[in-house]
Amino acid sequence: MKIVTVIGARPQIIKAAALSRAIKEHFENEVQEVIVHTGQHYDNNMSKVFFDELGIPQPDYNLNVGSASHGVQTAKMIVGIEEILLKEKPDYLVLYGDTNSTLAGAIAASKIHVPIVHIEAGLRSFNKSMPEEINRICCDHCSTLLFSPTATGYQNLINEGFSTGIYHCGDVMYDNSKYFANIADQKSQILDKEELHGVDFVLCTIHRDNNTDQPERLNAIFKALLMISESKTVVLPLHPRTSKLLNVNLEKSLFDKITNNKNIKILPPASFLDMIVLERHAQMVVTDSGGVQKEAFFFQKPCLILRSETEWTEIVECGAAVITDANEERIIESYNKFLENPPHNFPDIFGDGNAAVFICKEMLEKL
Ligand code: UD1
């Protein structure tokens, strides 16, 4: 079986690591994987570092599309992916998640009848103003095999009329967190480097465009973080988009207070192993990222979600996470509640750590 895998954004590189590892360990003689990097993320600390740390084979192709408007970025990727699919003639195109790289792969492959495997299928925020919601709906509806990490995702597919080729298989990100947790503790230097040993800290990430690009939302989030920093260290590995926009969209006095605050550690984007260590040792996680929400849950940390909804509804329903949106009062109130009353209920929502092996077996069987 020959598969072409498309990756491009940071979380996809991480997800793809689980499948590449499963192929290497269990299916080396049966599966050939050709990796295409669209170049959507291109900074070393948004891309290369993950290949090095997670042991992913170097991409066979790099489209180097870089940053551009949604239309230009996606269009360049479609052209490049189509060319590669015509040349490689794979049995499947494997796509992850909900980024512009996912959408481009779905459009390119479906038009030339290459069957698509969508990993992380069925997730819905029911908020079509998010580019990711459009990307994941389009990709699901072009796919032949759809692997959903959660029961809710699987049910969403049934509700949309799917009846064949759909699976509830667990989460490849959980595979990775389980596999790398101890390795990360041994290899990562981040706690030493940032002097975080024995420090109670809150880990925060912010990168969604509606938070970074809307000044009122960004200011509300940072006002809340400023308040939290009065009693706790706040560690903020920042996405390049957010770093670029802090001094543009934050009120000047707030920007000064944040950047001159010894309790707020603004860091460059963290590597995967550093991020896992930060998540494992944080007291609480505050984030607008889908992946970081889940990883907080994997490591049994309470999580505040800086969005108006989440695709990972189960983690809210069981009380491990709260949707605070970019609302200053709600963030602080939920933060205080979790400090007084940390959650204890972390049920098995994301499978058993073997999702990637299951996916490989099903792809082979359905060939
Ligand atoms: C993308 C995905 C999002 C995913 C996120 C993870 C889409 C629509 N969104 O969002 O689903 O959660 O990745 O990180 O695909 N930039 C750099 N260096 C880089 C990469 C980006 O400076 O290596 C800057 C550029 O200014 C760029 C901006 O970040 O314009 C946004 O990058 P983009 O690829 O458009 O989307 P993300 O916000 O990263």
Whose C-alpha lies nearest to ligand 1, atom 5?
Answer: 9
CA 39 to centroid of ligand 1, rounded, Å? 11
Q: Hey, what domains does the chain have and what are their CATH numbers?
A: 2-171+351-365 (3.40.50.2000), 190-340 (3.40.50.2000)
Q: Is 207 a catalytic residue?
A: yes
Tokens 């790099």 belong to residue: 62
**Pair of tokens at residue 326:** 């970019």
Q: Is the CB of 10 under 6 A from ligand 1?
A: yes
Q: Is the CB of 48 under 6 A from ligand 1?
A: no
Whose C-alpha lies nearest to ligand 1, atom 22?
Answer: 240
Q: Looking at the chain, how many residues does it have?
A: 367
Angle between helices 252-259 and 215-228 (to 10 degrees): 40
* Active-site residue, selected from the candidate residues 37, 41, 118, 207: 207
Q: Concatenate the DSSP letters of all residues of 23-67 into one string.
A: HHHH-TTT-EEEEEE--SS-SGGGTHHHHHHHTPPPPSEE----S
For residue range 151-206, list pLDDT tens digits in order. 999 999 999 999 999 999 999 999 999 999 999 999 999 999 999 999 999 999 99
Contact between 208 and 11 under an 8 Å Cβ cutoff? The reply is no
Q: Which atom of ligand 1 is nearest to the CA of 100?
A: 15
Burial string for 210-237 (b: 16+ CB within 10 Å, else e) reads bbbeeeebbbbbbbbbbebbeebbbbbb
- Residue 321 to residues 280, 286, 334, 338: CA-CA distances in angstroms? 16, 10, 9, 9
**Pair of tokens at residue 32:** 């050939």
For residue range 285-326, list pLDDT tens digits in order. 999 999 999 999 999 999 999 999 999 999 999 999 999 999
Q: Is the dihedral of CA 49, 298, 119, 123 positive or negative?
A: negative
Edge-to-edge strands, sheet with 264-267: 264-267, 233-237, 201-205, 284-287, 303-305, 321-323
pLDDT band at residue 272, thresholds of 50, 70 and 90? Answer: very high
CA 97 to centroid of ligand 1, rounded, Å? 14
Q: What's the pTM? A: 0.95
For residue range 28-50, list pLDDT tens digits in order. 999 999 999 999 999 999 999 99
For residue range 114-151, list pLDDT tens digits in order. 999 999 999 999 999 999 999 999 999 999 999 999 99
Give the C-alpha separation, 292 to 28, whole Å.
31
User: What pLDDT is recorded for position 95?
Assistant: 98
User: What pLDDT is recorded for position 80?
Assistant: 98
User: What pLDDT is recorded for position 10?
Assistant: 95
Give, for ligand 1, the residue of 67, 77, 139, 248 to mutate: max count of ligand atoms closer than 8 Å to Cβ. 67
